[in-house]
């Protein structure tokens, strides 16, 4: 075990890295962040901020020599960076797991190779493959870049076969997957922790709602039959075990005609797991610290039904939001990420609403959103 008092690090300086550092410091660890942005949210709360690119080998060596262990806050950190760090300290998750999760082609093939349910797909790496791909998958379909896509970015909806060439060009003619568009009834996710010994602890399934491709609201527990909750946890556990994953992992699902289909895998804490900051015994970020340091997992039980609500930069259009309208609700818990610039679609924070009745928590969430948005108009 790596015990409190040691120094641990995170590659990436966004809000996930910030909340990791806050959890680590609460447990008594010193923290190091490597991120090129001098104003990164995580850099402001870490003990040491190394301002460098993720492939800067001198910076990576400095981090590796300072830290007993290092993790990541987002999967698009180059796997080579983690391999380089592995020469100096413990790294979690493994570079091999990151390689799979950061590339949709590898991820989709991994799911198919292990007979895990996902939407029908084909790989597209050149224009010559477009016609055959659309013939195989049909329309409507989603063309998604293999790397770099998030929050609805890096994908194009194709509703007519003739649109595939335009979509491929708009995505930069980079390697993609063409995936059948599914008529889904719900979106769900499971966040879990898996230890070095292979023990898995799942958080309650979350029910997710998106707007414009960006997560808007997560509801826990998900309002689905218990059998679906069990299936989601079992599938997420299979994913983690097949990856031999160590750390915190999120698995996103589509519910299609009563069946769960795996959408994406995130090898780190997840936006839909932010409800754990207030509503579970152990947050996903403390769990990330525990898994990195070889500590026993914390309890994942839900203390209260909860609704997590994202706060995007659009809310800052007319100036700072009127936080007094939110803070007067005793059921609400505000989390701001310390970002210096608000932009449309940028995640600036979130708030959790806890209430014994999940429907009442949803109602309070809508009231708060309405009051925040009314002031900004």
Nearest-CA neighbor of 273 among 260, 263, 258, 286? 286
User: Which spans in the chain are helix H?
Assistant: 15-26, 57-66, 79-85, 95-101, 104-113, 130-137, 164-170, 226-243, 276-279, 284-293, 323-327, 358-376
pLDDT, residue 375, reads 63
CATH architecture of 120-180: 2-Layer Sandwich (3.30)
* Cα–Cα dist 244/96, whole Å: 9
CB 190 within 8 A of CB 251: yes
Characterize the bridge pairing of strands 206-211 and 186-194: antiparallel
Q: Which element (helix H / strand E) includes 197?
A: none
The pLDDT score that the predictor gives to residue 376 is 56
Residue 114: phi and psi, rounded to 5, are -105, 20
pLDDT for 152: 67
Q: What are phi and psi of 289, to 5 degrees?
A: -60, -45
CA contacts within 13 A on the Cβ side of 2: 22
Per-residue pLDDT of the chain (377 residues; tens, 9 = 90+): 999 999 999 999 999 999 999 999 999 999 999 999 999 999 999 999 999 999 999 999 999 999 999 999 988 888 789 889 999 999 999 999 999 999 999 999 999 999 999 999 999 999 999 999 999 999 999 999 998 777 667 899 999 999 999 999 999 999 999 999 999 999 999 999 999 999 999 999 999 999 988 999 999 999 999 999 999 999 999 999 999 999 999 999 999 999 999 999 999 999 999 999 999 999 999 999 999 999 999 999 999 999 999 999 999 998 999 999 999 999 999 999 999 999 999 999 999 999 999 999 999 999 999 999 986 55
| Model pTM score | 0.95
Q: What is the pLDDT of residue 154?
A: 87
Q: CA 287: distance to chain centroid?
A: 14
Domain coordinates in residue numbering, the chain = 7-91, 120-180, 186-376
CATH topology of domain 186-376: D-amino Acid Aminotransferase; Chain A, domain 1 (3.30.470)
CATH no., domain 7-91 = 3.40.50.20
DSSP 86-103: TTTSEESS-HHHHHHHT-
Distance in Å from the first CA to the final CA of the chain: 52
**Residue among 131, 155, 128, 126 at smallest CA distance from 143:** 155
- Give the residue from 218, 365, 230, 212 showing the smallest Cα distance to 277: 218
Answer yes or no: are the C-beta atoms of 238 and 114 closer than 8 Å. yes
What is the pLDDT, as a whole number, of residue 78?
A: 81
The CA dihedral of 346, 347, 349, 350, to the nearest 10 degrees, is 130
In angstroms, rounded to a whole number, what is the distance separating the alpha carbons of residues 172 and 168? 7
List % helix, strand, coil for the chain (3-state, nearest 5): 35, 30, 40
- Cβ(101)–Cβ(266) below 8 Å: yes
């Amino acid at each position: 075990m790596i015990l409190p008092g040691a120094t641990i690090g995170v590659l990436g300086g966004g809000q996930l890295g910030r909340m990791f550092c806050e959890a680590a410091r609460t447990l008594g660890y010193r923290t190091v962040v490597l991120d090129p942005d001098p104003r990164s949210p995580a850099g402001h709360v870490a003990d040491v901020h190394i301002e460098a690119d993720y492939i800067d080998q001198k910076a990576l060596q400095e981090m590796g020599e300072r830290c007993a262990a290092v993790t990541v806050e987002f999967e698009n950190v180059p796997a080579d960076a983690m391999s380089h760090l592995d020469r100096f300290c413990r790294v979690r998750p493994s570079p091999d797991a990151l390689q799979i999760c950061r590339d949709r082609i590898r991820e989709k093939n991994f799911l198919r190779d292990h007979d895990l349910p996902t939407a029908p797909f084909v790989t597209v790496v050149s224009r010559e493959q477009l016609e055959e791909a659309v013939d195989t998958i049909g329309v409507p379909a989603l063309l998604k870049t293999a790397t770099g896509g998030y929050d609805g970015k890096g994908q194009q909806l194709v509703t007519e076969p003739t649109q595939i060439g335009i979509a491929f060009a708009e995505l930069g003619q980079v390697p993609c997957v063409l995936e059948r568009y599914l008529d889904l009834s719900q979106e769900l996710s499971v966040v879990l922790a898996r230890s070095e010994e292979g023990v898995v602890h799942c958080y309650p399934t979350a029910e997710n709602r998106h707007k414009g491709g960006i997560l808007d609201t997560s509801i826990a527990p998900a309002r689905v039959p218990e059998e679906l909750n069990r299936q989601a946890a079992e599938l997420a556990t299979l994913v983690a075990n097949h990856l031999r994953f160590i750390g915190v992992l999120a698995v996103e699902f589509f519910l299609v005609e009563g069946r769960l289909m795996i959408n994406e895998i995130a090898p780190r804490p997840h936006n839909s797991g932010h409800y754990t900051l207030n509503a579970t015994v152990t947050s996903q970020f403390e769990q990330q610290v525990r898994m990195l340091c070889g500590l026993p997992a914390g309890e994942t039980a839900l203390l209260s039904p909860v609704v997590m609500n994202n706060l995007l930069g659009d809310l800052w259009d007319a100036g700072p939001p009127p936080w007094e309208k939110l803070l007067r609700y005793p059921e609400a818990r505000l989390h701001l990420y310390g970002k210096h610039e608000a932009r449309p679609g940028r995640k600036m924070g979130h708030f959790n609403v806890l209430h014994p009745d999940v429907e009442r928590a949803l109602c309070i969430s809508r009231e708060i959103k309405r009051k925040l948005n009314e002031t900004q108009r």
